[in-house]
């Protein structure tokens, strides 16, 4: 979804975000937000149960409908542009990208797409961490991941949050910008691992050290990530709304 398209749809999006969930049946697949999943070096479910719980919570708490399952995407194909949000989460290293895939993914990120990188191992310097940083450096050699300022709009796109959260607590959210917007957000503490439930409805993993309060913080941060992918910096831009309306009345 390109920035110009977002701008044209923003008034409708804001109405939908404020509206209560519809009583009708589920939206058809082409009207749901789909998370595209980038490839790993070895088969891995990419924390699908965490994504399903996030989809359920989004439907319960907001009017955004997230598809229950992510869609594996070829980063070299046009299908990359059918979603505003990509996820890279691997148990081991990521799959190395060829130059056509890098060029396509770079274009996606420069046009306003968001890549969410979540480390299931929550292990700085581990196989996933090293491999994904190497690929991000190949994508943007002139830039690098940097800690995200605590006053960034991402922390208030829907919920007011105050820092990183996940299955483990430690480290900082890191981000890489492409122009005025964030292109990559790296959550180092296995954020999706905090959200997964098993087939009996029980939480799959303990959340340490903060327990259920930390799990709720992880959920709110995940919701904010989805909203940022859909609306970018609209929460930051709204501060100018009174001035714009005053000028229009003149």
Give the tens place of pLDDT for each residue, 80-139. Answer: 999 999 999 999 999 999 999 999 999 999 999 999 999 999 999 999 999 999 999 999
φ and ψ of 168, to 5 deg? -120, 160
| Distance of alpha carbon 217 from alpha carbon 226, whole angstroms | 15
Q: pLDDT tens for residues 140-184?
A: 999 999 999 999 999 999 999 988 999 999 789 999 999 889 999
Per-domain boundaries in the chain = 3-249
Q: Would the pLDDT of 16 be above 70?
A: no
Provide the CB-side half-sphere exposure for 184 (13 A, CA).
Answer: 24
d(CA 54, CA 191): 11
| Over residues 50-59, mean pLDDT | 96
CATH assignment, 3-249: 3.40.50.12140
pLDDT band at 31 (very low <50, low <70, confident <90, very high): confident
Instruction: Select from 31, 118, 34, 46 the least CA-distant residue to 83.
Output: 34
Q: Please give the mean pLDDT across all residues of the chain.
A: 85
- 95/179 Cα distance (integer angstroms): 26
Q: Torsion angle of alpha carbons 47, 13, 176, 102, nearest 10°?
A: 70
What's the confidence (pLDDT) of residue 181?
93
What's the pLDDT score for residue 132? 98
Tokens of 3: 């920035």
């Amino acid at each position: 979804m390109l920035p110009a398209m977002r701008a044209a749809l923003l008034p409708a999006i804001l109405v939908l975000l404020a509206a209560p969930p519809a009583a009708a049946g589920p939206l058809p697949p082409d009207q749901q937000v789909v998370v595209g999943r980038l490839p790993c070096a070895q088969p891995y479910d990419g924390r699908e149960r965490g994504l399903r719980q996030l989809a359920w919570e989004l439907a319960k708490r907001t009017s955004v409908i997230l598809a229950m399952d992510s869609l594996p995407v070829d980063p070299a194909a046009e299908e990359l542009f059918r979603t505003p949000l990509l996820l890279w989460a691997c148990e081991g290293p990521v799959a190395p990208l060829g130059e056509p895939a890098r060029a396509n993914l770079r274009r996606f990120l420069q046009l306003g797409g968001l890549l969410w990188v979540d480390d299931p191992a929550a292990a700085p310097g581990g196989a996933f961490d090293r491999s994904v940083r190497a690929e991000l450096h190949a994508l943007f050699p002139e830039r690098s991941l940097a800690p995200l300022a605590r006053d960034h709009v991402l922390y208030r796109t829907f919920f007011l949050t105050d820092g990183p959260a996940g299955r483990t607590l430690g480290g900082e959210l890191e981000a890489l910008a492409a122009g005025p917007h964030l292109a990559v957000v790296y959550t180092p503490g296995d954020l999706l691992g905090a959200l997964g439930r098993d087939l009996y409805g029980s939480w799959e993993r303990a959340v340490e050290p903060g327990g259920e309060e930390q799990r709720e913080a992880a959920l709110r941060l995940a919701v904010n990530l989805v909203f940022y992918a859909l609306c970018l910096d609209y929460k930051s831009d709204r501060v100018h709304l009174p001035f714009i309306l005053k000028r229009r009345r003149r």
